[in-house]
Structure 1
Amino acid sequence: MTTDDTTATTTAPPPTGYARVFAVPEFRAVFTAHILSLLGVVISEIALSVLVYELTGSPLMSALAFALGFLPYVVGGTLLAGVADRFPARRVLVVFDLVCAACVLPMTAPGMGIGLLLTLRCALAVVAPVFQGTRMATLADILGDGDLFVLGRSLLRIVSQSALLAGYGVGGLLLTVVSPRHALLITVGTFCASALLLRFGTRRRPARAVGGGALVTESLRGARQVLANRRVRVLLLLFWLPPMFSVVPEALAAPYADELGAGSVGLGLLMCALPVGTIAGELWAGARLRPTARERIALPLVCVTLVPYAAYALHLNLPVSLLVLLLSGAGSAYTLGLDQWFVRAVPEEVRGRAMTLLTAGLMTIQGVGMALAGVVAEFAGVAATVAGAGLMGTACCVLLAVAARRTE
């Protein structure tokens, strides 16, 4: 056997699928920091909600503490988006992690008033879209704008979906051991640990754009620049509109479980089915499909992902309802193809602002979808509302898919 043959047979094969992404040291730091930040967010949401209820005895105030984690997204995503490109990305990520820690730390002090607690909660939500948008743009810097970026983005989404399944359970278990204020103190540690990982685990890169004016003005100008591109506008709508309809069963899970007589166990299963399907779909598409295949199926998949919801009109039992949600969740694998198109379509100098706008719009429109679902269900009933969301959402997706095809 020749020397060349020996080398060929003993050299380890290159990593494939998601393993390729974990082979990049900087991504490992970003991924671990994402888990720590997400853990901090989830625990702080639960602990603050419980703390507010303990202080006020009001379910409304407790729910408001939770809802304030979503409402200010649109403020930060539009007025502060310029931060993502105006300053070096690593600095933005580290500083915003420390800002989150600084917002949570005063919450742990005894005697903190409800008004200040909710104000600090709002501050966390304002900086969240800028942090997330900057992190998405940083992924493109670290992994390039090709397939590695798509896989890295997919992994962060999978972690976020997994938090829906496990995070709140872990947080609830933690609160059986420590007080809400001590749980909040733990989140301060997770945010600081995330900041340290990002500071020493990623390298410094220059800002994408040089700021020449007021931050708010620059942020709004950047948003206009992003939205001026027809291709980008269509892709943003493809990211935003399907989730607005897909959250309808989640928003109505409690009354639907009550109609089925499924109890708390059934409610838990209904809440878990969609994210389980989403995780399975993304893992399959990321690990098994080539980049060209993921792009090829993106538009057909987005057109059918909400179709299963129409089956709710048949007044399904619990097992079939769970199957419907699993199938619809699996269809969200279309996002891998959209990620690739979006990062190609957005100019690098406004990439951070575009990613921030994407994040803010996604969170805001899901909140709108949940609110509208509740209003419609008051008049039409749960099953009809979910079925209607499936039909109307499918029609919107088909129109957007046609528009996306025309902008290629």
Structure 2
Amino acid sequence: MATYRELFGFREFRFLYAGQVLSYLGDQVAAVAVAVLVFDRTDSALLSAIAYASAWLPGVFGGPILSTYADRLPRRAVLIGCDIARAALIALVAVPGLPLWVAIVLLYAAHLFSPPFVAARAAIMPEVLPGEAYIAGNGLSNITSQLGQLFGFVAGGVIVAAVGPVWSLLGNAVTFVLSALLIAAGIVHRPAALPEGSPEGLLAQTRDGFRYILADPWLRTCLALVWVASAFSFAPEAIAYPYAVTLGGGPAAAGLLLAAPCVGFLLGAIVFTRVVTPETRERLLRPAALLSTLALTPALAHPGLPVVLLLLVLAGAGASFIVPLNAVFVRRVAPEFRGRAMGVASSGLLVGQGLAFLAAGAAVQAGLTPATVAGLSGLLGTAAVLTVRRAPTPIEARIP
């Protein structure tokens, strides 16, 4: 089993990982900067939310189509091109005096380049890291993202307060440029995954990607399990503040409620990628998916804050089954379909979580207590996970 230290013995991974860290930290700071910039100019929470939503809405509606470019074009070129495009567009958002509607349009345009970038990076990783090293590398990337979530927003608030939103956005643009330079210097050129001169157009190739996934029972089962479990297990995040208030806390308690699943996810990802054997990992994937939702059901008893935090840590630990399963998913997909497969997977994940967030918020608005909503999310999620049938073959057995 590969250690995290051994991963950095692979030259291409070092450059990919460094680029990921840079751009992710820049994004976290920019998320705070955008909210501050828009709210300061308009005093409108709605417009601030619309701008903030630019980080995920493009992936929902354009992910599967835009991710097709990760198969149509050389993936190194896609990574570099997306970084340069995002750097330019984010830098334009920081231009003083820019009309607000133009700034929001530019934000959405910048985030349109995220789906092909994420798809290209995911598709190239199995070519950079062999065997179990890929499982560990995928786990380290997810752990890094979770750590970024835990500390990024705090650091972002400090940085934005110190230098202001405009300079913070320019800093984010610089991180994209640096990421592009690292990829250009450290990643080997590979030809496009799709055969050169393929007669099909973009939409036809996107449709082929959907058909490829739907034709494979294991891939369908994998996506259904991930989408269902993640939607229900993370739904309580949408009601963290009202939940904290009912528990006698305030913003600090809400922060703990949001951080608890991240802590569990981090611990679970480490166990799955560094502690257990591949055989044990395979046996634990489905029980972990069940844990991600089942752990929330005791919230129906309205326990106090310490118990709720423990439940959320357990749910996050269970949800970490996504980390190794994602790696197996990508390796199982034929190389020429990997970009499109990741586009479909990511978009479905965003849609499922977005709908679950809305449902949780609507349920509290309708009069249910946050504890009841969290517990019902766990109960319904457990039932949904149990309805997802098992894959027809062992998870690792038919990987090419």
TM over 0.5: yes
- Stretches (4+) displaced over 6 A: none
Identity of aligned residues (%): 35
> Match of 1:398?
386
Question: Residues 228 and 397 from structure 1, CA distance in 2 versus in 1: closer, same or farther, beyond 3 angstroms?
Answer: same
* Residues 272-317 of structure 1, C-alpha deviations (whole Å, 9 max, x = no match): 1110110011112222112222112111221222111011111111
Mapped contact 1:245–1:389 kept (Cα < 8 A): yes
CA positional deviation for 1:216: 2.9
Output the CA distance in 1 between the equivalents of 2:66 and 2:394. Answer: 29
Of the three residues 298, 306, 312, the one matched with 1:311 is 298
Mapped contact 1:78–1:220 kept (Cα < 8 A): no
CA positional deviation for 1:212: 2.4
Q: 2:340 aligned with 1:362, yes or no?
A: no
> Match of 1:230?
217
Of the three residues 132, 150, 159, the one matched with 1:165 is 150
Q: 2:93 aligned with 1:107, yes or no?
A: yes
Judge which range, 344-353 or 199-208, deviates more: 344-353
Output the CA distance in 1 between the equivalents of 2:326 and 2:110. Answer: 26
Q: 2:262 aligned with 1:275, yes or no?
A: yes
| 1:9-408 matches, cutoff 5 A | 16-144=2-130, 146-210=131-195, 211-379=198-366, 380-400=368-388, 402-405=389-392
* Residues 47-102 of structure 1, C-alpha deviations (whole Å, 9 max, x = no match): 11111111111111112111221112123212222201111110000000111101
Mapped contact 1:84–1:134 kept (Cα < 8 A): yes
Output the CA distance in 1 between the equivalents of 2:391 and 2:2. Answer: 30
Could you state the TM-score of these two structures normalised by the residue count of structure 2?
A: 0.94
Output the CA distance in 1 between the equivalents of 2:59 and 2:21. Answer: 20
Secondary structure of residue in 2 paired with 1:252: helix
Output the CA distance in 2 between the equivalents of 1:344 and 1:200. Answer: 25
Mapped contact 1:76–1:130 kept (Cα < 8 A): no
CA positional deviation for 1:107: 0.8
Taking only aligned residues, the RMSD between alpha carbons, in angstroms, comes to 1.7
CA positional deviation for 1:332: 2.3
CA positional deviation for 1:125: 2.5
Secondary structure of residue in 1 paired with 2:3: coil
Question: Residues 179 and 333 from structure 1, CA distance in 2 versus in 1: closer, same or farther, beyond 3 angstroms?
Answer: closer
Mapped contact 1:36–1:194 kept (Cα < 8 A): yes
Mapped contact 1:273–1:322 kept (Cα < 8 A): yes
Output the CA distance in 1 between the equivalents of 2:20 and 2:62. Answer: 19
CA positional deviation for 1:406: 6.1
Structure 1: unaligned runs, 5 residues or longer: 1-14
Mapped contact 1:134–1:356 kept (Cα < 8 A): no
Secondary structure of residue in 1 paired with 2:391: helix
Mapped contact 1:315–1:383 kept (Cα < 8 A): yes
Q: In structure 1, what residue type is equivalent to 2:295? A: P
Aligned residues: 392
Mapped contact 1:240–1:365 kept (Cα < 8 A): yes
Could you state the TM-score of these two structures normalised by the residue count of structure 1?
A: 0.92
CA positional deviation for 1:343: 2.8
Output the CA distance in 1 between the equivalents of 2:173 and 2:68. Answer: 26
* Residues 195-243 of structure 1, C-alpha deviations (whole Å, 9 max, x = no match): 0011111111111113423223322332232222222111111221111
Output the CA distance in 1 between the equivalents of 2:24 and 2:7. Answer: 20
